[in-house]
Structure 1
Amino acid sequence: MEAWRHRPTHRQVWALATPMILSNLTVPLVALVDSTVAGHLPHTQDLGAVTVGSAVYALPVWSFGFLRMGTTGFAAQAKGANDASALRTVQAQALLLATVLGVLTALLMVPLLPWLVAQMHSTPLMAGRALDYLHLRLLGLPAALLNYSLAGWFIGAQRARTTLALLLVTNLVNIALNLLFVPMFGWGVPGIALASVVGEWCGAFYGLWQVQRVLRELGGQVDRQAMCEWRQWLPLLRVNRDIFLRTLALEGVFFSLSLLGARLGDATVAANALLLNGLMLTAFGLDGLANAVEALCGHAIGARDRHALRRALVVAGGWSLLGSIGYALFFGSAGHLFVNLQTNLPEVRQAAYGCLPWLTVLPVVAVWSYLLDGLFIGATRAREMRDGMLVSVLFFALLAWLTRSFGNNGLWLTFLAFMAIRGVSLGWLGLRLRRQSAWIS
């Protein structure tokens, strides 16, 4: 209770969380606009093509989420230690890594697209439109990865308002062009993809411009030896490797949801996409508080302040629980309206209505994994995050096989259990580190 009553920590948490919540909410808003625009096109295959294409594009984008998370942890610890040179060096390493990975991955993805889309068991018409969508979307992949590194560094440096501005530029440009290219110009599915690409590049250029302004305020210089010597990259690369494996496993779960849902029919895969937009709305809202945990816990660890670490966890955890209850009440009372706003296709609506109870329960179950992810990211404890995720995925695979005869409800039950196991495994690992006094050595 003493930690909860510490008013300065409440102010710190909300000073970081408020801009991040606002910026994070624009991300699922983009997905909602994409789905809504596609859902009002004449054919079910258009919505299905955007759904399938988005799932395939998310494979490399989400897999490289370590570019944000790893950067945040190291930047936060450098700021806590008041090491301006380290802060500059982390940024330079992250931007270089993002550029190389973005270009190489986009080139490697092109020949794999037909095979990846084929795994979704889509109809020929839907598959063709999904490929058109993806060939355009890959043009924005380098920009998307640059935005990850930029956002991660700004969060770690406790410049949440700059992160908000970066994501607002990216997502609002995307939304505006969606409404221009599709309803007004009639470009259909390719118009949705092109709007996303332009938005990503606008965000990247804005972020790089902001970087130059921030660097003028910092002291220190980039450690050129750290940039040139392999061993100086190892801490960042090891953390990124483990976060990559953790994210790859998580992405495998979401890809499995799309894959297993697609085998239940076009209406089911489209309905699940609409419901997962609700999960994204929840995740990105609560992740604003998790982002505050990343920055504050990383700062406390860099400053070697155990009391600040505990206060940040208690305050952010309390607000996260209250937020998850609010989301649950929203989906429980307005779930049908949430679905109806995204599509007017009767078969998709009916499929989504049947699984709304799962979406209602999900926020309260999932909140703990988001919060604890923030702690482990700020501490750059990526190995423990990886191990907890692998255990959770094994349980997901087992439950998916056991509930395979229950249709879409069985699929959602399996996913709910997976999110619960994520939180439990991270909590157990965190307590073990606390008993070993390993959070601040």
Structure 2
Amino acid sequence: MSALVDAWHHRPTHRQVWALAVPMILSNLTVPLVALVDSAVAGHLPQTQDLGAVAIGSAVYALPVWSLGFLRMGTTGFAAQALGANDMTALRTVQWQALMLAVLFGLAVGALMYPLLPWLIAQMHSTPLQTTRSMDYLHLRLLGLPGALLNYALAGWFIGAQRARTTLSLLLVTNLINIALNLLFVLGLGWGVQGIALASVAGEWCGSLYGLWAARRAVHGLAGHVDWAALRQFSHWRPLLSVNRDIFIRTLALEAVFFSVSLLGARIGDSTVAANALLLNGLMLTAFGLDGLANAVEALCGHAIGARDPLALRRALVVAGGWSLIGSIGYALLFVFAGHEFVNLQTNLSEVREAAYPYLPWLAALPVVAVWSYLLDGLFIGATRGSDMRNAMLVSVIAFFFTAWLARGLGNHGLWMAFIAFMLVRGVSLGWASWKIHRRGAWTTASAVNF
């Protein structure tokens, strides 16, 4: 216990955590802000189906984007460890690896998604009008997929290289352009659901062009060089691909839960799927806010592992963990006392508001339950331990579907109960895995350094 207290009182670590976390919190908060604007704009269109179409289209688009989130997470860990080891050649080479993978997956996955859209939308069992408008949204939205993946790779490298302000600039360019064009295309020009999609596409591509320029500037003053000879050898790609494979499986499992929430909500009714979308925006607001601290953990823990410094690792975890707990309590209180206003801000449709109000207590409970999974995700990403993240997620998904089956007679309350169980098991599973690694003294051993 005294070691934890000493770690908490280490002021330089507090400064390091907040120097990284504040720009990341600000940048992360722009992401749910975009979702809030999308929902608010669609929620003020004439028909309920417009809001439902955006909710369904966003859930389907999230399948390839979130599934390929390893382009961000895998890059962060390797970049952070390279920086900790003061290996600038590795840091430069990781950047190129990430960008090359982003281009490859952006083109391939985008081409594969188009013929699958009718089947994916059909699984939602939505009304014919909602189906048509969801398809219109997605046909345009997928044009931005390569830009979105480039932004993932760039953000991952910037975080690992402890360039949090550049990450903030990248996401601000992407999301503020999205928001501005959203208001122009929909409220100004009356383009409806298609305008929402076009605004997102434009924001993603503007962000990626800015990020490429910023990445070139970032490496200009660094020592070392890109190891082109290593990039031609599969053995050099194997560690990154192995971690990315495990994170990919983990992310697919996570996305299966979120997709199931949308799917099961849609089967209950149009108002329910719309209400759940508004409430999940609250979860995203919480997640991306607390993930700013988790991003600091990724960078600082990866740096400590690369430098093989267990004391720095402990300090980063304790300080970020303490502030994460405080933040989660703040979010919970926000939804307790201002939950109705949060829903009302997003839509003026009375049937959607009334459908959302009964489930606000579940939303208020989520931050305190979910905060530990966000924090520990940061640790495992920084450590490039993808297999442990994968295994913990698979156990959590089983808990979700088992709870959903047990509570199937409770309607939407049963669905939210299953989601809470999922987040709880996710944090416990990661905590158990981290404790076992700690007992072996394996966090900062040579085997943990994979770059």
TM-score range, shorter chain: over 0.9
1:67 matched to 2:84:
no
How far apart are 1:215 and its partner, in Å?
1.3
Tell me if 1:365 matches 2:369: yes
**Deviation digits for residues 106-160 of structure 1 (CA, Å, limit 9, x no counterpart):** 1000000000000011101100000000000000000000000000000000000
The alignment status of 1:54 with 2:58, answered yes or no, reads yes
| Aligned with residue 42 of structure 1, among 26, 43, 46 | 46
**Structure 2 residue 236 is matched with structure 1 residue 258:** no
The correspondence for 1:399, drawn from 387, 396, 403, is 403
- Deviation, 1:226, is 1.9
2:86 is paired with a residue whose SS is: coil
Residue identity matched to 1:21? I
Spell out the pairing of 1:121-140 with structure 2 (5 A cutoff).
121-140=125-144
Give the structure 1 partner of residue 113 of structure 2. 109
User: What SS class does the counterpart of residue 120 from structure 1 fall into?
Assistant: coil
Corresponding letter in the other structure for 2:313: L
**Structural mapping, 1:232-251, within 5 Å:** 232-251=236-255
Alignment of 1:268-347 (within 5 A): 268-347=272-351
TM-score normalised per structure 1 = 1.00
Question: Match of 2:20?
Answer: 16
State yes or no: 1:175 paired with 2:176.
no
- Whole-Å separation in 2 of the counterparts to 1:204 and 1:439: 34
Number of residue pairs the alignment of both structures matches: 441
Give the structure 2 partner of residue 118 of structure 1: 122
Q: For residue 359 of structure 2, what is the aligned residue in structure 1?
A: 355
1:189-204 alignment runs, 5 A limit: 189-204=193-208
Q: CA deviation at 1:225?
A: 1.9
Q: Which runs of 4+ in 1 moved over 6 A?
A: none
1:294-343 Cα distance to aligned partner (Å, 9 max, x none) = 00000000000000000000000000000000000000000000000000
Q: What is the CA deviation profile of residues 174-202 of structure 1, one whole-angstrom value per residue up to 9, with x for unaligned ones? A: 00000000011000000000000000000
Question: 2-side partners of 1:395 and 1:152: how far apart?
Answer: 30
SS in 2 for 1:82: coil
| TM-score, length-scaled by structure 2 | 0.98
Corresponding residue of 2:440:
436
Q: Residue deviations 1:409-428, cap 9 Å, x none?
A: 11001100110000000000
Paired with 1:389 and 1:63, the residues of 2 have a C-alpha distance of 13
Residue matched to 1:84? 88
**Partners in 2 of 1:342 and 1:66 — Cα distance?**
31
**Aligned counterparts of 1:60 and 1:214: Cα–Cα separation in 2:** 29
Q: Report the Cα distance in structure 1 between the residues aligned to 2:101 and 2:143, rounded to whole angstroms.
A: 18
Structure 1, gaps ≥5 residues long: none
Q: Secondary structure at the match of 1:3?
A: helix
AA aligned opposite 1:78: A
Partner of 2:102: 98
The answer as to 2:222 corresponding to 1:218 is yes
Cα RMSD of the aligned pairs, angstroms, is: 0.4
- What SS does structure 2 have at the residue aligned with 1:158? coil
